[in-house]
Amino acid sequence: MKNVFLALALIVSVAASAQVPSVTVENFKGEAVNTQSLLQEGTPMIVSFWSTTCKPCIMELDAIYDALPDWQEEAEFNVVAVSTDDVRMLAKSKSLAEGHGWSEEFILLFDKNRDFMRAMNVSMMPHVFVLDAKGNVVYSHTSYTPGSELELFEAIRKCSK
């Protein structure tokens, strides 16, 4: 049991020290964007990996979208929503994001080849990270249950202090 705990502690510490890798993806306008450019603002961020077929992903992003005005009164941060749908689903991904209003409030990225997803070791969705102003992963979770978005905001508040 002690070995399991030590292994888990090591995994958590490695994850907590991880940073955003340099990967080229597409933004909402179809322009190539390097993921490292997200760090230039020096602002904490929520990075959420989602797909059009993942209902919990959409529920979580909607919950973040609904809470965003209140959260941004307390802390400055960005929300980056990364679609992992392939090129065949790109139009549907963009349409869904626009229909939910995410294109107005979130930085939308489209990881058609799943390069960013692999670089961040995302294996299931939704997978959400909170990054501090330097791009260090300070919080991560998979799956979604209503209310778990509050954990994201708590991590953002800690980064903003």
Q: Tens digits of per-residue pLDDT, 36-95? A: 888 877 889 999 999 999 999 999 999 999 999 999 999 999 999 999 999 999 999 999
- Given this model, what pLDDT does residue 42 score? 80
Phi, psi of 44 (to 5 degrees): -60, 155
pLDDT at position 2: 43
Q: Within a 10 A sphere around the Cβ of 32, how many other Cβ atoms?
A: 8
Q: Between 17 and 147, where is the model more confident?
A: 147
Tokens representing residue 31 in the block: 């322009």
Mean pLDDT of the chain: 87
pLDDT of residue 20: 83
Q: How far apart are CA 13 and CA 128, in angstroms?
A: 17
What is the average pLDDT across 22-26?
Answer: 94
pLDDT score for 16: 43
Measured N-to-C along each axis, helices 55-74 and 149-160 cross at an angle, to the nearest 10 degrees, of 40
Residue 19 has a pLDDT of: 77
Is the pLDDT at 109 greater than 70, yes or no?
A: yes
pLDDT higher than 60, residue 143: yes
> What is the model's pTM?
0.86
